[in-house]
């Protein structure tokens, strides 16, 4: 016989012997050893089963809290108060858990003393009342030594079972977990107004424009503290996303006796958001040591807690939302600009019906590039602040008058405000404040170009 053929026969015999040994070993395993193999299927015990629609009421009693869920038509009501909003998905999950209750296994039967399992003074009890009036009580006791299971039993029974801690908690969840903590939600397509009033700064408000057909445009206008072109990036990327919806982290109190203890009698901030259907107003109160704030929906009697990270939009000041340039007129739209200071005056002209234009300042002809640099200095004046009392301004001290090609004029007037500042009015309106040194710097710059 050839060596290779002999080797093949020997290998075949060895494999057969190994397979036989494995089969024999498996057949001789104890039940405990077999349970440790991956093929083992975990057996469960059905304690209670009914139809979801048959449940009329679920009453949970615990050492820390108690509550009752009652079915009203197709809705569930918490403690008889329909104004307490519930998370439908969470409630449906609880009802499903109560309709089909299983245990991991039965660990003892004919038990007369259940105190060792924490069932005499239970952790929680759940009463499941059906529409026919029958009630099944589930008693939930202590955790097992490794905290992976809890003991439980049915009232009137004598057997003790175990159920995973997670599943036991799902059968008797904390009331807070069943509550709907979403204060409001609007879509970016239908939201049309928002305002933020915060302690120590000015209120700002934005309103969305409508198209001719009555639908909402993508364009927004700043309404408060003044009508002005705003910073579109800050608005669309930082402010608006944070205001489309607000969801609290937890519930602090329903029907609080005094809002003052939460800083809600005189809120730190108030937010209003409107869409096609409703106006939502949220009051934001005191800050906690953990970095959250108390919040309350204006029409609700529930106080919530919300992390400040969800309220980051409050850190956006109105000056961050606007274009700080006092007033911008495109050079393509004007043919004359007159700048007056307290002791100087400059007339800038763009002459000619078409290109190439002639550019002059006080009669002196300038190159186009030089003229445009001078013009940039004029439109580059920025606001430094805003006032709620523009009527307190003094006399006009400087001005910029634009004469446009269409015949209209725009007057930017600088009025005495205080030692350092001017109040700025555009065509007689405005509440913007700018530093005097900006205007004096402009006059000095134009003097160099006119010299």
The residue ranking higher by pLDDT, 13 or 52, is 52
Residue 438 has a pLDDT of 96
pLDDT in tens, 255-279: 999 999 999 999 999 999 999 999 9
pLDDT in tens, 36-53: 333 334 578 999 999 999
Residue 5 has a pLDDT of 53
Residue 200 domain-assigned (yes or no) = yes
403: exposed, middle or buried (C-beta count within 10 Å: 0-12, 13-18, 19+)? Answer: middle
**Same structural domain, 114 and 192:** no
Residue 38 has a pLDDT of 38
Residue 34 has a pLDDT of 29
**Same structural domain, 98 and 126:** yes
Domain boundary among 290, 321, 352: 321
Q: Is residue 286 within 8 Å of residue 263, measured between CB atoms? A: yes
d(CA 230, CA 234): 9
Query: Which spans in 28-87 are helix H?
Result: 31-35
Residue 8 has a pLDDT of 55
Contacts of 248 (CB under 8 A, 6+ apart): 181, 182, 183, 295, 304, 305, 306
The dihedral over CA atoms of 12, 18, 21, 23, expressed in degrees to the nearest 10, equals -80
Please determine, for residue 73, whether its predicted confidence score (pLDDT) is greater than 90. no
Does residue 165 sit in helix, strand or coil? Answer: helix
Residue 36 domain-assigned (yes or no) = no
pLDDT in tens, 212-238: 888 888 888 888 887 776 778 888 899
* Average pLDDT estimate for 332-349: 95
Sheet of 279-287: strand order equals 216-224, 204-210, 193-198, 269-274, 279-287, 292-297, 302-307, 250-254
**Same structural domain, 172 and 186:** no
**Same structural domain, 141 and 79:** yes
**Same structural domain, 276 and 341:** no
Domain boundary among 149, 178, 207: 178
Question: Cα angle at 44 between 42 and 47, to 5 degrees?
Answer: 170
Residue 2 domain-assigned (yes or no) = no
Contacts of 313 (CB under 8 A, 6+ apart): 196, 238, 239, 242, 243
Phi, psi values for residue 359, rounded to 5°: -115, 130
pTM confidence score: 0.70
Please determine, for residue 385, whether its predicted confidence score (pLDDT) is greater than 90. no
Residue 310 domain-assigned (yes or no) = yes
**Same structural domain, 168 and 188:** no
Residue 312 domain-assigned (yes or no) = yes
For residue 308, CA distances in Å to 56, 77, 300 come to: 40, 31, 21
**Same structural domain, 86 and 145:** yes
Residue 10 domain-assigned (yes or no) = no
**Same structural domain, 299 and 223:** yes
**Same structural domain, 375 and 265:** no
Report how many domains make up the chain: 3
d(CA 207, CA 26): 76
Q: Is residue 301 within 8 Å of residue 83, measured between CB atoms? A: yes
pLDDT in tens, 138-180: 999 999 999 999 999 999 999 999 999 999 999 999 999 999 9
Closest among 55, 133, 127 to 92, alpha carbons compared: 55
In the block, tokens 């290109």 appear at: 355
Residue 291 domain-assigned (yes or no) = yes
**Same structural domain, 164 and 205:** no
**Same structural domain, 201 and 166:** no
How many separate helices (H) and strands (E) can be counted in the chain? 10, 29
Domain boundary among 297, 321, 345: 321
Domain extent at residue 241:
182-321
**Same structural domain, 164 and 192:** no
Residue 154 domain-assigned (yes or no) = yes
């Amino acid at each position: 016989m050839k060596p290779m053929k002999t080797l093949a026969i020997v290998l075949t015999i060895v494999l057969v012997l190994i397979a036989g040994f494995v089969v024999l070993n498996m057949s001789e395993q104890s039940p405990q050893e077999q349970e440790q193999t991956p093929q083992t299927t975990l057996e469960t015990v059905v304690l209670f089963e009914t139809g979801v629609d048959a449940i009329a009421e679920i009453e949970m009693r615990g050492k820390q809290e108690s509550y009752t869920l009652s079915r009203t038509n197709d809705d569930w009501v918490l403690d008889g108060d329909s104004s307490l909003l519930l998370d439908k998905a969470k409630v449906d999950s609880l009802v499903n858990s109560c309709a089909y209750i299983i245990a991991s296994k039965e660990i003892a039967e004919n038990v007369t003393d259940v105190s060792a399992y924490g069932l005499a003074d239970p952790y929680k009890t759940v009463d499941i009342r059906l529409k026919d009036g029958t009630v099944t009580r589930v008693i939930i006791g202590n955790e097992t030594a490794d905290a992976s299971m809890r003991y439980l039993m049915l009232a009137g029974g004598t057997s003790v079972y175990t159920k995973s801690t997670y599943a036991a908690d799902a059968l008797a969840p904390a009331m807070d977990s069943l509550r709907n903590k979403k204060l409001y939600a609007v879509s970016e397509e239908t939201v049309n107004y928002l305002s933020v009033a915060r302690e120590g700064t000015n209120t700002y408000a934005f309103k969305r424009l409508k198209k001719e057909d009555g639908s909402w445009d993508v364009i927004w206008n700043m309404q408060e503290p003044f009508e002005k072109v705003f910073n579109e990036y800050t608005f669309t990327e930082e402010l608006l996303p944070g205001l489309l919806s607000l969801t609290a982290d937890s519930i602090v109190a329903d029907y609080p006796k005094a809002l003052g203890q939460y800083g809600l009698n005189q809120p730190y901030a108030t937010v209003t958001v409107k869409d096609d259907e409703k106006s939502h107003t949220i009051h934001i109160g005191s800050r906690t040591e953990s970095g959250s704030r108390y919040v309350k929906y204006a029409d609700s009697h529930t106080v919530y807690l919300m992390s400040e990270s969800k309220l980051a939009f409050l850190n956006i000041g109105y000056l961050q939302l606007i274009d700080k340039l006092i007033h911008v007129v495109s050079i393509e739209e004007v043919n004359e600009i007159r700048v007056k200071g307290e002791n100087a005056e400059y007339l800038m002209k763009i002459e000619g019906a078409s290109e190439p234009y002639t550019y002059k300042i006080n009669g002196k002809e300038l190159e186009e590039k030089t003229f445009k640099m001078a013009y940039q200095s004029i439109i580059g004046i920025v606001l430094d602040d805003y006032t709620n009392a523009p009527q307190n301004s003094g006399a006009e001290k400087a001005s910029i008058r634009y004469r446009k090609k269409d015949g209209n004029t725009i007057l930017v007037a600088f009025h005495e405000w205080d030692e350092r500042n001017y109040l700025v009015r555009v065509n007689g309106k405005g509440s913007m404040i700018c530093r005097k040194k900006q205007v004096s710097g402009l006059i000095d710059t134009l003097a160099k170009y006119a010299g």
